[in-house]
């Protein structure tokens, strides 16, 4: 399965990181996850020391799953982004799923609805 940043964050937050075993993500997931932690700290959902612990755990999790470059086939990603009206980074996840013929796991409803026209898509809670 291909996991986007929202799915990884949701699974880790729910204590279900093991569901990521054998999965794949894009290198840009690290930045999406970092931004999610930044938002949690900024909104005072967690303090900065908790944010640091979380980011370190997320880094550990990312080290255990296959990570592929989002920079491959940018022309094809652009074509897919235009056709689906998805943001470029979301289209990159869909592209990776299509190229590898693997289901996409996302918490993002816009990506979910666009991707289901092309490939099997699942929500993180369906894996637990």
DSSP the chain: -EE-HHHHHHHHHTT-GGGGTT-EEETTHHHHHHHHHHHHHHTTSS-HHHHHHHHHHHHHHHTTSEEE-TTTTHHHHHHHHHHHT--HHHHHHHHHHHHHT--EE-S-HHHHHHHTTTS-EE-GGGG-
Per the structure, the count of domains in the chain is 1
Task: Give me the CATH number covering residue 81.
Answer: 3.40.50.1010
pLDDT 10s digits, 41-58: 999 999 999 999 999 999
pLDDT band at 29 (very low <50, low <70, confident <90, very high): very high
Q: What is the pLDDT of residues 66-104, one digit of tens each?
A: 999 988 899 999 999 999 999 999 999 999 999 999 999
Domain that holds residue 103: 2-127
């Amino acid at each position: 399965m291909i996991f986007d940043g929202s799915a990884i964050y949701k699974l880790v937050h729910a204590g279900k990181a093991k569901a990521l075993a054998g999965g794949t993500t894009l290198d840009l997931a690290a930045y999406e996850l970092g931004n999610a932690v930044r938002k949690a700290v900024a909104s005072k959902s967690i303090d900065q020391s908790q944010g640091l612990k979380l980011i370190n755990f997320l880094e550990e999790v990312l080290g255990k799953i296959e990570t592929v470059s989002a920079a491959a086939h940018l022309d094809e990603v652009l074509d897919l982004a235009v056709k689906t009206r998805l943001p470029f980074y979301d289209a990159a996840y869909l592209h990776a799923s299509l190229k590898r013929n693997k289901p996409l796991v996302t918490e993002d409803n816009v990506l979910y609805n666009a991707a289901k026209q092309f490939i099997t898509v699942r929500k993180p809670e369906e894996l637990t």
